[in-house]
Structure 1
Amino acid sequence: MRPATDHFPTTLWMVDDIPSRMVFAGRRWRVSDTPTRLRHSIWTASPEQNHGLYGWRFQGTDDDGLSLVFDVFKGEDGWHVHRSYD
């Protein structure tokens, strides 16, 4: 697991409101599994802080064939990677 120490910004493209690809850390990632919608219980913030917070967990594969699992959430200023896992 590679927990993020900060919430890193990312660009996320959706198809029918489901993640399909993203750009993160200077790489293009294709969503290569079925994304899972994350609800409030996954986030470490208190219920008051995470009001309205939602996100997705999905496997992303880059152009070199590297695959990671990402937890992403939508904040007030766009999408962010909360964690990535090997």
Structure 2
Amino acid sequence: MQRTMEPAEVWTSATGVPERLVWRAQRFRVDDTPTPLVGPAEWWLAFAGNDPGAGRAPLAITGWRFQATSPEGDTHVFDVGHDGTHWHVLRVFD
């Protein structure tokens, strides 16, 4: 596993699910069902110091994990995230 924070271009479906990406000048097509990565909802951060009572803080999709393959046959599992402006590759599993 490589930990990284490299820029990437990600194309998504109409529902926001990743379908393709370009990373390190190489094109990849998502070839499995992406899994959402979740974390506390951004709007909840203002209340983070308070006890939420029963349960836990509300969750939101913070990124995606998926397998993708290049036309040359290179396959990786990617963790990607969006910072509100740009997509980034967060981790790569070989």
Q: Which runs of 5+ in 1 are unaligned?
A: 42-46
Report the count of equivalent residues.
Answer: 76
TM-score in terms of structure 2 length: 0.73
Alignment of 1:3-82 (within 5 A): 3-4=3-4, 7-16=5-14, 17-40=16-39, 54-82=62-90
Q: Which residue of 2 aligns with 1:44?
A: none
Which structure has the greater CA radius of gyration?
A: 2
Residue by residue over 1:30-61, the C-alpha shift from the partner in whole angstroms, topping out at 9 and shown as x without a partner, is: 001000000017xxxxx67xxx7710000010
Distance change (3 Å), C-alpha of 1:35 and 1:25 = same
The whole-number CA distance in structure 1 between the counterparts of 2:18 and 2:61 is 16
After TM superposition, where is structure 1 displaced by more than 2 Å over at least 4 residues in a row? none
Paired residues of 2:62 and 2:81 also in contact (CA < 8 A): yes
- Greater strand share, structure number: 1
